[in-house]
Amino acid sequence: MTIAIGCDHAGFQLKEKIKDYLESKNLAFEDFGTFDEESVDYPDYAFYVSKAVASGKCEKGILVCGTGIGVGIAANKVPGIRAALCHDLFSAEATREHNDSNVLTMGARVVDWNIALDIVDTWLKTEFAGGRHQRRVNKITAIEDMMAIERAEEIALAIADNKKEKNGSDDNVSE
């Protein structure tokens, strides 16, 4: 399993600590940045990590920003991503068992950094429970699918309207 890991400037130091931890456990990871504490925009790194997980390149992802909230909001925009903000062990275990979360987010300005490593450990080793939880996760996927269909229909209508308008104006030009 390769873990995608990323952060913004506020999460950089904790991300480095998590990388040391993963290394000590012989767990493979790919670091999607950022690579220092210079100010950056967290949605960029949330997108890189989420894309790697959604595409299957990496099995799971870990994202760190100041609060863990911004990266989580951005990550959850990527179809197939179930990002969970966890600042305690109960949530880390429950979100793997119940939600099959595939991205863990944490806030470096919120969580105790030693607890953060325990959260990573718990989140990585806890299996999805399946059963009734699978039905609920399927409903999350169904929401994504329905929204994608609605969006595709909107785009198709906009293209059709645009074509009509264009044809109309061409007619006018030739008159």
- Give the residue numbers annotated as catalytic, written as ranges: 65, 98
Selected binder of ligand RB5 within 65, 84, 117, 119 (CB under 6 A): 65
Q: Which is nearer to ligand RB5, 100 or 116 (CB)?
A: 116
Task: Please tell me the distance from the alpha carbon of residue 166 to that of residue 8, in angstroms, as a whole number.
Answer: 44
Binding to ligand RB5 by CB under 6 A, coded x per residue (else -) over 8-47, reads x-x-------------------------------x-----
Selected binder of ligand RB5 within 15, 34, 62, 67 (CB under 6 A): 67
Compute CA 143 distance to the chain's CA centroid, rounded to the nearest angstrom: 16
Task: Please tell me the distance from the alpha carbon of residue 107 to that of residue 63, in angstroms, as a whole number.
Answer: 9
Selected binder of ligand RB5 within 33, 43, 66, 80 (CB under 6 A): 66
Q: Is-contact 29 5, C-beta < 8 A? A: yes
Closest CA to 64 of 20, 100, 91, 33: 33
Q: Is-contact 103 61, C-beta < 8 A? A: yes
Selected binder of ligand RB5 within 27, 69, 129, 137 (CB under 6 A): 69
